[in-house]
Amino acid sequence: MRLSDLTEATADTLRSAGAILLDLMTPTLRLGVTGLARSGKTVFITALVRSLVAGGRLPFFVAMAEGRVARAYLEPQPDDAIPRFAYEEHLALLASDPPQWPESTKRINQLRVTIEYTHISALRRAVGPGRLHVDIVDYPGEWLLDLPLLEMSFADWSSLAVADARAPHRAGAAKAWLDYLSVLDAGAPADEQAALTGAGLFTRYLQAARTPDPELTAPGPGRFLLPGDLAGSPLLTFFPLPPAGGSTYRRGTLGALLARRFDSYKAHVVKPFFRDHFARLDRQIVLVDALSAVNAGAGALSDLQRTMEAVLKCFRPGANTWLSGILAPRIDRLMFAATKADHLHHTSHDRLEAILRLIADKAMARAAFAGAEVKVMALAALRATREAEAKSGRQRLPCIVGVPLPGERLGAKVFDGKAEAAVFPGDLPEDPASLLLAPPAAAGHSEDVHFLRFRPPRVSLETPSGEEPALPHIRLDRAIEFLLGDRLV
């Protein structure tokens, strides 16, 4: 070996040691993007990363607007066992012809974006440029439904789940399973066949409950809706079965068998999910698709409200529980965002925020993120529509214009996914609580408002001159500023 080889090797070692040291010294912000299925997590993360990496129209993201973000780039994700967020694939789908939304997330995945920036103060600038790692996890929203199970016993969960299945808007989907339950005795001897049949009927009920509209809040457990790599696993062979009398299940009974499986599901599925991805967040954005719930009527909105309340309660558990033992109480900023605000004219955004506040207030009262700064806003991570006014007689109606997804309906019209349409989505009520007060009989589709789903906007990811054009959004820059701005000073 020649001396020059040796010095080369030493230089290499030093360089990589330097890189590791720099990496260790770089602060990390763990950003939780929390939301039920179809709430907009994957689109939000894609748009967030794109905004950081390519810049763009972000006047309220101060570090970017001041030109202090030198560059941002994706790095290998910190956990080797978890696949990386498919950023490039999601972007490619958006840029395809016709443009497509990313697919619903099937597995957990993760990304790390590193931001290099210039400090504001001359003193800190003298030390060198600033660096921040932002770590984000994306997962199927269905799995969020599992978090409330953590602090529930099998008996309590069973009673709740059965009451839920008896709600008028679930009755049709739940009938076969409830019929089976009505002839079952929790005190009968343990029977594997009964467990299998019951779990099968229960799974079919859960899937049927959300078939009419996958954007609505479904009852859980989450892996029954989206098993990931647990498909067919014995961990999923249970279902709710309230105790015959009292609140306990005798040994050797069917009830005891199901209770044991429920506990295994919590221990092997839910606890690791919470511990690895939620317990140590620094900041959190909670995405809520309030419009889909409004669209579907009072039952859907109160389902959403109850579910968010139960999910967020996990972040402020009672004393001396498993959750309180592992939760690092350090979330210092929390944002509630109503997603897909581009389904409405901007004149209705205040009312959308009021509805979100109604949902968030209840969740906050229970969760009380002590000391955290909280913000509520309506946003569209990727704006699919533009605004216009239409005349109806002497009235001027604030409309939105976009390409409705194929199969979307408005009255007798069915859209083909190609033609643009101007639609007046209706007026959100002035008093958001009125949406919850509608009698249960009114559950079903709302009369006053109707939202269509649109194709994503046509975007090009690179101009011939090599520029990366900005993606259209509504208030995404304000959200980024709230979530990251103070860490880039």
Please name every residue paired with 28 in a beta bridge, in sequence order, or none if there are none. 133
Q: How wide is the angle at C-alpha 480 spanned by C-alphas 274 and 473, nearest 5°?
A: 110
Q: According to CB under 5 A, which residues from 59 to 118 bind Mg ion?
A: 105
Closer by beta carbon to ligand GTP, 262 or else 415: 415
- The 8-class DSSP code of residue 135 comes to E
Instruction: Say whether the peptide bond before residue 98 is cis (omega within 30 degrees of 0).
Output: yes
Residue found under tokens 């500023």: 481
Among 32, 55, 56, 102, binds ligand GTP (CB under 6 A): 102
Q: How far is the CB of 95 from ligand GTP (least distance, A)?
A: 15
* Window of 30-38, 178-186, 235-243, 313-321 that interacts with ligand GTP by CB under 6 A: 30-38
Neighbouring C-beta atoms of residue 208, cutoff 10 Å: 17
Closer by beta carbon to ligand GTP, 77 or else 253: 77
Closer by beta carbon to ligand GTP, 47 or else 360: 47
42 binds ligand GTP (CB under 6 A): yes
What is the three-class DSSP state of 411? Answer: coil
Size of the site for ligand GTP (CB under 6 A): 24
Output the six-digit token pair for 138.
Answer: 């994306």
Among 30, 34, 40, 62, binds ligand GTP (CB under 6 A): 40
Q: What are phi and psi of 310, to 5 degrees?
A: -65, -40
340 binds ligand GTP (CB under 6 A): yes
What is the three-class DSSP state of 136? Answer: strand
Residue 432's binding partner, choosing from Mg ion, ligand GTP, none, with beta-carbon cut-off 5 to 8 A by kind? none
Among 32, 56, 141, 220, binds ligand GTP (CB under 6 A): 141
38 binds ligand GTP (CB under 6 A): yes
**Rg of the chain on CA atoms, in Å:** 25
Q: According to CB under 6 A, which residues from 444 to 473 bind ligand GTP?
A: 453-454
302 binds Mg ion (CB under 5 A): no
Neighbouring C-beta atoms of residue 387, cutoff 10 Å: 14
End-to-end CA distance of the chain: 48
Neighbouring C-beta atoms of residue 200, cutoff 10 Å: 15
Closer by beta carbon to ligand GTP, 257 or else 303: 303
Q: How far is the CB of 37 from Mg ion (least distance, A)?
A: 8
Q: What are phi and psi of 73, to 5 degrees?
A: -150, 155
Q: How far is the CB of 116 from ligand GTP (least distance, A)?
A: 27
- The 8-class DSSP code of residue 380 comes to B
d(Cα 474, Cα 398) in Å, to the nearest integer?
Answer: 17
d(Cα 85, Cα 39) in Å, to the nearest integer?
Answer: 17
Q: How far is the CB of 88 from Mg ion (least distance, A)?
A: 16
Q: How far is the CB of 441 from ligand GTP (least distance, A)?
A: 29
Neighbouring C-beta atoms of residue 195, cutoff 10 Å: 19
Closer by beta carbon to ligand GTP, 68 or else 340: 340
Among 31, 34, 39, 222, binds ligand GTP (CB under 6 A): 39
Output the six-digit token pair for 97.
Answer: 């012809």
Q: Are 98 and 129 in contact (CB under 8 A)?
A: no
Closer by beta carbon to Mg ion, 104 or else 211: 104
What is the three-class DSSP state of 368? Answer: coil
* Window of 7-15, 190-198, 259-267, 335-343 that interacts with ligand GTP by CB under 6 A: 335-343
37 binds ligand GTP (CB under 6 A): yes
Among 104, 247, 321, 324, binds ligand GTP (CB under 6 A): 104
Interface residues with ligand GTP (CB under 6 A) are 35, 37-43, 101-102, 104-105, 140-141, 339-340, 342-343, 380-382, 384, 453-454
Interface residues with Mg ion (CB under 5 A) are 41-42, 105
